[in-house]
A = this chain, B = another copy of it.
Amino acid sequence: MTTFPLEAIPRHVLAIDIGGTKLAVGIVNARGELLDAARAPTEVEQGPDHVVEQLLGLCSVVMERSPVTVECAGVGCGGPLDTDRGIIQSPTNLPGWVDYPLVERLRARLNLPVFVENDANAAALAEHQFGAGQGIEHLVYLTISTGIGGGLILNGELYRGKHGNAGELGHLQVRYDGPPCSCGGRGCLEGYASGTNIARRAREVAARHPGSLLARLAPNLQHLTGETVLAALQAGDPVAGALWDETLEMLAAGVASIVHAFDPQRIVIGGGITNFGDHLFPPLRQRVAQRSMPALADGVDICPAAFAGNVGVLGAAAVALRAPLGVSR
């Protein structure tokens, strides 16, 4: 019997990243190289049908100028969503998208198989296939940006759970009696340590310490962001230092919970928080090791994601490339 070398077939996929503020469409090869891309702001207020037209326009742009043919399309989009039925349920970043049959709409117009995953799962797949998680059997991807999300690669495969929404790691509840969260929980990790909430907590701290560098860097407190916190931290401001120390404890509690739950080999952290660099990774590693059972903490890597700006489109590509060759959907 002659075996046909599947890996010799050049695979190219269409990658569609649907964000609440911007859209991106690219053509990506099986090595995760982004060959071409087109972007546009999401005209989210005009509703899902309009955004689909925007996406189809971007798809036309990249497909028309591409020398290669794409075999299928992958989509990354905010969850919750029903991946099996291809329905976007009600992402917080896409108001008005209620049970929207995205896959059906795109497939009908693109005339291609279309696969969808929530954006954190898609990013986890990208890091696993091309990035900081290559070859890792048990990988947790944690993205800390405006919100906090996660994606799980367990036994080498994306783990999706009953509804396809496993890995909502921003809603690990790190203080049982903490403040209410929009999910219905209390003391959620996201409510303390997302970019938005680090900035919120920093504004509260700055208001109480008007003489601090943190406060002086943002005379209008409404302009105080995560970047302000980082600048104050880099300058050695003790008020920013105490805020960051508390943030690290919150994150370490969440990451140690992840270690105890999943016994992962590697935890890849992506999103805007990675800009904190050495203020984040070395102390977080040390605190997670301290807060975890030695038998579990032993050898767990906590490392930065390989992809930043392009993670959305590379994630969408990874979703498409995960589909076996020749599958139609």
Q: How far is the CA of A290 from the CA of B171 in the complex (A)?
A: 13
User: Which chain B residue lies CB-closest to A180?
Assistant: B291
Distance between A298 CB and nearest chain B CB, rounded to angstroms: 7
As for how many copies of this chain the complex holds, the number is 2
Are A295 and B172 closer than 8 Å at their CB atoms?
no
Q: Which residues of B contact A160 (CB under 8 A)?
A: 263
Are A176 and B290 closer than 8 Å at their CB atoms?
no
Q: How far is the CA of A213 from the CA of B252 in the complex (A)?
A: 40
User: Which chain B residue lies CB-closest to A185?
Assistant: B291
Q: How far is the CA of A82 from the CA of B262 in the complex (A)?
A: 16
User: Is A186 interfacial (CB 8 A cutoff)?
Assistant: yes
Are A174 and B171 closer than 8 Å at their CB atoms?
no
Q: For chain A, give the interface size range.
A: 35 or more
Are A290 and B159 closer than 8 Å at their CB atoms?
no
Are B167 and A256 closer than 8 Å at their CB atoms?
no
Distance between A174 CB and nearest chain B CB, rounded to angstroms: 5
Are A168 and B260 closer than 8 Å at their CB atoms?
yes
Q: Which residues of B contact A184 (CB under 8 A)?
A: 289-294, 297
Are B168 and A159 closer than 8 Å at their CB atoms?
no
Are A264 and B183 closer than 8 Å at their CB atoms?
no
Q: Could you tell me which A residues sit within 8 Å of B by CB distance?
A: 79-80, 89-90, 137-138, 154-155, 157, 159-177, 183-187, 192, 249-250, 252-254, 256-258, 260-265, 289-300
> Besides A164-B263, A173-B256, A183-B291, 17 other CB < 8 A contacts?
A80-B293, A138-B161, A154-B154, A162-B263, A162-B264, A163-B295, A165-B263, A168-B260, A171-B292, A173-B257, A173-B291, A174-B175, A175-B176, A177-B249, A184-B292, A185-B256, A185-B292
